[in-house]
């Protein structure tokens, strides 16, 4: 009995496929709905993957910028002598300097000529990331400071670093 019913259903479907009438309105709507849902899931998946990739890339760029900034600042502080409260004499530059956050970079400011030199090049700072030096202090013969990397006013990476100057008196 069951086999016979199945056979009638298959025959009915085959006859339906052979007719030239086309699909009913409800069949067309169902097909369009299925296609629309499929494309919306694919589109949503692509957006999620793209956002994840951008976040991972930005995080990697922030870590690279943090490392580069810490290295550049440490190099300046390692060559310091005659250390004052906010400035020091740089044996590397042969003048008195201090470090200052300005715009989207850290600047080396010479005290005599008030000349400002960016610590990092424009090619180093990418993806809208902004390096900042904070809490720079000199105690017991050691500089301690924090480097923070910001993106849209949010801290993305940060690290506290200590440096002992080679020429400190």
Token match 């169902």: residue? 30
Q: Please check whether residue 149 lies inside any domain of the structure.
A: yes
Quote the number of domains for the chain: 1
Confirm whether 14 is domain-assigned: no
Taking residue 146's Cβ as centre, other Cβ atoms within 10 Å add up to 14
41, part of any domain: no
For residue 16, tell me if it sits in a domain: no
C-beta separation of 158 from 146 below 8 A: yes
pLDDT tens for each residue of 146-163: 999 999 889 989 999 999
CA distance 131 to 69: 7
State the average pLDDT over residues 65-71: 94
Please give the average per-residue pLDDT across 92-115, as a whole number. 88
With 0-12 / 13-18 / 19 or more C-beta atoms within 10 angstroms meaning exposed / middle / buried, residue 106 is: buried
pLDDT at 168: 62
Per-residue pLDDT of 72-89, as tens digits, reads 999 999 989 888 888 899
- Determine, yes or no, domain membership for 28: no
Tokens of residue 32, six digits: 């369009």
pLDDT of residue 20: 65
19 within domain boundaries: no
Nearest to 65 by CA among 24, 126, 19, 18: 126
Assess if residue 30 is contained within a domain.
Answer: no
Residue 152 in any domain: the answer is: yes
Range of the domain at 74: 48-163
Identify the top-confidence range among 63-77, 80-94, 117-131. 63-77
Which helix (H) or strand (E) is 59 found in, with range?
helix 25-78
Cβ distance 65 to 124 under 8 Å? yes
Model confidence at 144: pLDDT above 70 = yes
Residue 1 pLDDT exceeds 60: no
């Amino acid at each position: 009995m069951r086999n016979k019913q199945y056979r009638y259903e298959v025959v009915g479907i085959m006859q339906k496929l052979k007719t030239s009438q086309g699909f009913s309105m409800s069949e067309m709507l169902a097909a369009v709905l299925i296609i629309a849902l499929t494309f919306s899931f694919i589109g949503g998946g692509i957006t999620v993957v793209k956002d994840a990739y951008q976040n991972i890339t930005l995080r990697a760029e922030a870590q690279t910028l943090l490392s580069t900034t810490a290295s550049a600042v440490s190099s300046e502080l390692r060559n310091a002598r005659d250390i004052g409260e906010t400035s020091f004499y740089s044996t590397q530059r042969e003048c008195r300097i201090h470090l200052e956050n300005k715009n989207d970079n850290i600047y080396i400011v010479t005290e005599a000529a008030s000349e400002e030199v960016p610590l990092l090049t424009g090619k180093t700072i990418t993806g809208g990331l902004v390096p900042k030096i904070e809490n720079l202090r000199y105690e017991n013969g050691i500089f301690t400071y924090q480097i923070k990397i910001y993106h849209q006013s949010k801290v993305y990476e940060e690290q506290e670093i200590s440096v002992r100057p080679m020429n400190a008196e």
